[in-house]
Structure 1
Amino acid sequence: MELNYNGVTLPSDMIGYLVKVAKSLNVPPSYLITKLHFEGIWGKSEVARENNNWSGMTWTGDPNRPSGIVVSKGSARPKNEGGHYMRYKSVDEFLTDWTYLIRRGGIYKVADSATFDEAVKGMFKVGGAKYDYAASGFDHYSKGMKARRQAINRANNGALDKLDNAKGLIKGVSKTVTVTAKQVLDVARGLIGATKYGATHKKLINDYNKVTPRPVSYAVKYDDDWCDAFVTVVADRAGATSLIGRECGVERHKSIFKQKNIWLGLVKPQAGDIVIWRWDGNRNGFANHIGFVESVSGNTITTIEGNTFKGGVSQVGRNTYAWNAQSIQGYARPKYGTTKVTPEATAKNENKVSKHFVVTIDNLRAFQEPTATSKLVENIKRDYVKNIDVTVESEGYLWGGWISSADGKRRYTTLQTLDGKRKFVDLKDGTISHGGETYTEYLALQEKVSDDQPVGGDTPKVGKGQVEIDGTVYDVELKETK
């Protein structure tokens, strides 16, 4: 699909990019498309051609933009206005800086505008902006934008209306869904009766392992304890991964619940809560088992658990307990309700990889999507390591993507510019089990996970020359320091 107006063409790849940005900001795509023609004739104005500046943005004297883009002083503005335009190294860098201006929480109130008119209004004080976007004022700018949208729309047989009304045009854009306790429990109920080594059990283990990078880089085996793999896959299938997290080791999963502020300890539970046991009654000890609370009746709870034994056979089954039984350490309560779920496949130019990187700058930003206009979710410090499973070329950068073991959400960060002139990480082949430590610490420990990696509720067996960190056993290489 292309758009044409007054002899100028906006190509399909640029339209696709703008639609994706529009979806991430929750604004009509026609707003961004019209704005770029109104201000820079889709890159064909003299200012746009000389400066890669499609919107006539003014040089401020500071080359370092808040978006992280570095600019320079460009061509002179008209004499009656004075000053100069910004010059960008590429159109991609202009787009990154331009869309950063209208991000959520910025100085303009553009994001989450239901209509074209509302988005335009959000660029001015009258619409809630901190500053007016254009010196000409809201009325003049708004009239011009409306007229331009109408003209572009007419010239393209209503294409802008179709783009604004279309749904699901771009794969991988986050959508709002509702995940309830009932949905999670329905998935768990559907697995009741599945026995260890049976076809359903093997598919469950395979589904756990296919989501990479795996927690602690461990591939669960068919003969492993599988209570936590069961909880994880139920969450995956119900669309609740971001609420519950992914793990195969109960003690590590308990740590995730604490990080997500959903660990309640020993309180009277509700249906949909996650229950954790310690069989010898030590409520502060290493966790042994995990499952779901299906229902509560008085002081009795009914649970659904994987790797529970019925007639000596490991299976998915129901059990009943007093809610405050000595063997129960406590409960986690996922924040059921509205959450963001991002599909696994995010873009056509995504490449599957098995790599890791070491951050070489002071802080590396990670986003929900491979675009700087999406939500910033993490700052990764220098020398820290991430395993990645995809790379994406977007906005002039090579991005790396991974699924966070902490919350189950996919994240992306820039690895380097596509021309290779600016690199933010040291990219290496293969994945490593770094346990969230820095690369220096990884090298010091040699990060060699013991063969008896604990899964389920196994208690770590720490031998000579080993150390246990958050439920994971590592071999330690001791080095003499001077």
Structure 2
Amino acid sequence: NIAMAVAPKVGVKPRLLFAQLVQEGGDGSQPVDRIDNNFGGMTWSPNCGYPKGTARPKAEGGNYRHYKNDSEFATDWAKTLKADFARTGKPRSIQDYVNKAKSQSYMQSNDLTNYANGMKYGYSLWKGKSSLSSAAKVADSADSDTGEDCDDTSSGSFSGSGSILKEARHWLGKFNYDASRTADAHWKHPDDSDTTDCSGFVWFVLKRTGYAVTPQVWSTPFMESDAKGAHKYLKRISAKNAKKGDLIIVNVGSGSGPLGHTAFLAENYHGNNTKVIEMGGNGNKVNEQTIAYSFTSLLPNGRVTFAEPKKVSSKK
């Protein structure tokens, strides 16, 4: 409904707009979506004309904008996009959309490849239908208002320059261990009570700090295979070269379920007393422990792989 309403205001195909909403807000179940009707991660600023909404993650600071309903969000979003595309020209493809949004600082992330992949996923979900409910009528002011008073906002995307360990430690004592992985689905705006598992937590932290990850959450068998073979996301390294922020992956047999575990090295590797930050292994929350403690049942017969995460390239 929002995409169909905003499209004629900004001169962009509704399917492209829908794709960005999916990339930014997922399925709309995140707190900022539900509480603030803010599906684009629009950030509050003193001169934007909207009240403060829920707090942004500590790593980002500030607050999101609060909209009283879908239509109010659609109006503001249309103003912002109209101003951005007036400067850059209308986007004609997903990659063109991402490049133009980046050039206007709509998003701060340098993770353009994954952003485009997220939009491609949203693009594939488009049904081309609308019930024309509350979001369908966007205020006429969007036609003339440039939106420049709110032009300093970001989309809720991440800078891609953060420290892996700083991000991992931020979540110590948070989340609940469960394979439903709601924290990964809400990776931009997670709640402390969200869920994830060991490989999901690694994916989550790398995603938030601008490292290469799969479009969907991976598993320890995939992590091991990629590190040893394709090197698309992880590069296998020797134990002596494993440093803080790198990964340890231990798999037995298939590595599925309890037969595999993974964690971040919290310090340069120096044997099984090296500390790690993990989800699981030592309880149901994100925690810090030693390799010996957390991998004790897997080490005797497990395949130990150390891997270095790969930074997303900004080259086209």
Would you call these one fold, judging by a TM-score over 0.5?
A: no
Rg: which structure is higher?
1
TM, length-normalised to structure 2:
0.39
Structure with larger RCO (C-alpha < 8 A, sep 6+): 2
Greater strand share, structure number:
1
TM, length-normalised to structure 1:
0.28
Greater helix share, structure number:
2
